[in-house]
Amino acid sequence: MQERRNAKRVPNGLPIHDYVNLYFDARNPMMYSRLNRRGELVIVRVDPAVMSQPGAIITDGNAASESTLFLPSPAGLVQLDESLVYAHSWNDPDPWRKIEKRRARCAEVLIPDRVRPDGLGGCYVFDEDVAIACRGAAQGVRVEVKPYVFFG
């Protein structure tokens, strides 16, 4: 996946790796592929206001996918299918529909360069052990235990 992302550019923009990619919902196929590492992961919550930064882009699915649309932010929000982006599951008996659901479930906001610290709003972790470590590493950051987001 990273090789595909490395080779892709945002239309009329920068290479994808020059953006901070933010999923609309972290409980997606990428998180599922990291089940065995969920005790090491932290999901950083970001203020939705970052979507108004100059050059921000909305994608209607995984940015590395050939069929994904790249839209200006925040106006592009109206193009998202919320029923797919926030779906509980991307499984489908139709294999082609399942591929599309997986792609859409990974809709992103691409922020050029970086997200400033004032755009961060806390984090989610899998369990209390990770929360304790996170609180120790990031003083003053609101840490919430949310196993559901990590497929727990």
How many Cβ atoms from other residues are within 10 Å of residue 87's Cβ?
A: 17
> pTM to 2 decimals?
0.90
Count of alpha carbons within 13 angstroms of residue 96, beta-carbon side: 1
Domain that holds residue 63: 2-39+49-115
Identify whether 128 is part of a domain.
no
pLDDT of residue 140: 84
Report the number of distinct structural domains present in the chain: 1
Identify whether 94 is part of a domain.
yes
Identify whether 136 is part of a domain.
no
Tens-of-pLDDT digits for all 152 residues of the chain? 667 777 788 888 899 989 999 999 999 999 999 999 999 999 999 999 999 999 999 999 999 999 999 999 999 999 999 999 999 999 999 999 999 999 999 999 999 999 998 888 899 999 999 999 989 888 888 999 999 999 99
Identify whether 28 is part of a domain.
yes
| Three-state secondary structure call for residue 4 | helix
For 72-141, the three-class secondary structure string (H helix, E strand, C coil) is ECCHHHHHCCHHHHCCCCCCCCCHHHHHHHHHHHCCEEEEECCCCHHHEEEEEECCHHHHHHHHHHCCCC
Tokens of 6: 């490395």
